[in-house]
A and B are shown apart, each in its own frame.
Chain A
Amino acid sequence: MLTAAAPPRAPAPSGDELLAQARVGSETAFAALVREHQAMVFGMACNFLHSRAQAEELAQDVFLALHQNLSRVESARHLVFWLRRVTSNRCIDAVRSAQRRREVPMDTVMDPEVAPHFGDPLLGDLLRSLVGALTPDARIVVTLRFQEDLDVSEIAAVVDMPVNTVKSHLRRSMEALRRKLADRGYL
C-alpha cells in the first residue's frame, strides 16, 4: 500500500527574501517583517519612554517610515540597523519635543505595565525609573547597550556619536546608577 508522504513544508523565507518581497509590494511580507522586529522597536520605545501608549504610537510611526523607505534598506542586517537608528532618533526627538512644549517629563510618568519582569520586580522598576531619569542621549546609549546588547562601536554607529562620547555616557550612567542604588541600599 502506498502511503502519501506529507509534502515537505516550505522553509520560512529569510529576512532578505521577506525584504525583497516587501519591496515589490507584498503586504504579507511586510507584515512578517513587522512581526519579526516589533518586539525590538516597541521594547526600545517602552524602555525609553516608560509609556506603552506612547511607545506603540512611536513604534507604529517607525514601521510607517520603514514602509516609506523600503527601497533604501539594502539587506536584513541593514534593516535591523535602520530600525534601531530610526527608533533611537524618534525616541530622543519625542523627549526633546515634550521638553520644548514643557509637558510633564516622560521620565516621571511611570507605566506599571511597561515590561515583563523577571527577578526582583521592585529592583527592575527602580532600574527602569533610574534609567528614565538619565539624559536622552545617555538613556538611548544604555538602552542599546543592555536591551540590544550592542558594543560601544555598534552603539556609536546607530546613534551617530563618537565612540568616546558613547563610552563617556556609559561610564557616567553606570556611576550614577550605582550611586543611586547604593543610596537605596541595593549595593
Chain B
Amino acid sequence: MNLEHELRRALTRTDPPAGFDDRVLSRIAAGETVVSLRPQPRWSRAALPLAASLMLAFGATYYMQQEHLRQEREARAHMEQAARDVVLALQIASKTVAAAQAKVEEMTRYEPTNDN
C-alpha cells in the first residue's frame, strides 16, 4: 500500500452543502462581521518561555548574590571573632608573663647573695 497515495485519496477537497454561497452572502448582507485572527508574530510564541527563563535567571542570580553576601558576612564574623580570641590570648599571656617577671624580680631583689 502506498500511504501517500492513500492519504491523497482520503483527504480531498469537498464541496459544501448546496446554497453555501447564498448563506455566506446573506450573512454579509445582514452586516455580520468576524473577528480577524491576527497571527501571532513568531517572537511572541517565545515570549512566555523567555519571560519565565529571565525570571528564573534573575531569581537564581539574586539568590546566589544573597548567599554569597551571607557567606562573606559569616566569614568576616569568624575572622573578627578569631582576632578577638587572639587579642584575648595575647592579653592573658602578657599578664601571665608580667606576673612571672614581677615574681622573678621580687625574688632576685630580696634573695641574699652568696657573696655577702
Bound: A85/B8 CA distance, A: 20
Mark the stretch among B30-38, B51-59, B66-74, B107-115 that contacts chain A.
B30-38
Q: Is the CB of B25 within 8 A of A27?
A: yes
A34 in contact with B10 given A42-B15, A61-B34 (CB within 8 Å): no
Say how far B80's CB is from chain A's closest CB, in angstroms: 60
Of the four ranges (under 10, 10 to 19, 20 to 34, 35 or more), the interface on chain B belongs to 20 to 34
Residues on A with C-beta less than 8 A from B37 are 86, 89-90, 93
Q: Is the CB of B11 within 8 A of A128?
A: yes
Q: Which residue of A35, A65, A118 is within 8 Å of B21 (Cβ)?
A: A35
**Which residues A13-35 have CB closer than 8 A to chain B?**
27, 30-31, 34-35
Of the four ranges (under 10, 10 to 19, 20 to 34, 35 or more), the interface on chain A belongs to 35 or more
- Residue A64 interfacial (CB < 8 Å): yes
Bound: A150/B37 CA distance, A: 23
A59 in contact with B20 given A89-B39, A160-B42, A174-B3 (CB within 8 Å): yes
Residues on B with C-beta less than 8 A from A35 are 21
**Which residues B1-33 have CB closer than 8 A to chain A?**
1, 3-4, 6-17, 20-21, 23-25, 27-28, 32-33
Q: Which residue of A31, A52, A63, A186 is within 8 Å of B17 (Cβ)?
A: A52
Q: Is the CB of B33 within 8 A of A142?
A: no
A127 in contact with B24 given A52-B17, A160-B39, A160-B42 (CB within 8 Å): no
Residues on B with C-beta less than 8 A from A116 are 12, 14
Residues on A with C-beta less than 8 A from B6 are 119, 123-124, 127
* Listed residue (B13, B15, B27, B36) with the most chain A CB atoms within 10 angstroms of its CB: B13
Interface string of A69-91 (1 = CB under 8 A from B): 10000000000000001100110
Residues of B participating in the A interface, judged by any CB pair closer than 8 Å = 1, 3-4, 6-17, 20-21, 23-25, 27-28, 32-34, 36-37, 39, 42
Residues of A participating in the B interface, judged by any CB pair closer than 8 Å = 27, 30-31, 34-35, 38-40, 42-43, 46-47, 52, 55-56, 59-61, 63-65, 67-69, 85-86, 89-90, 93, 114-119, 123-124, 127-128, 131, 142-143, 145-147, 149, 160, 174, 177-178, 181, 186-187
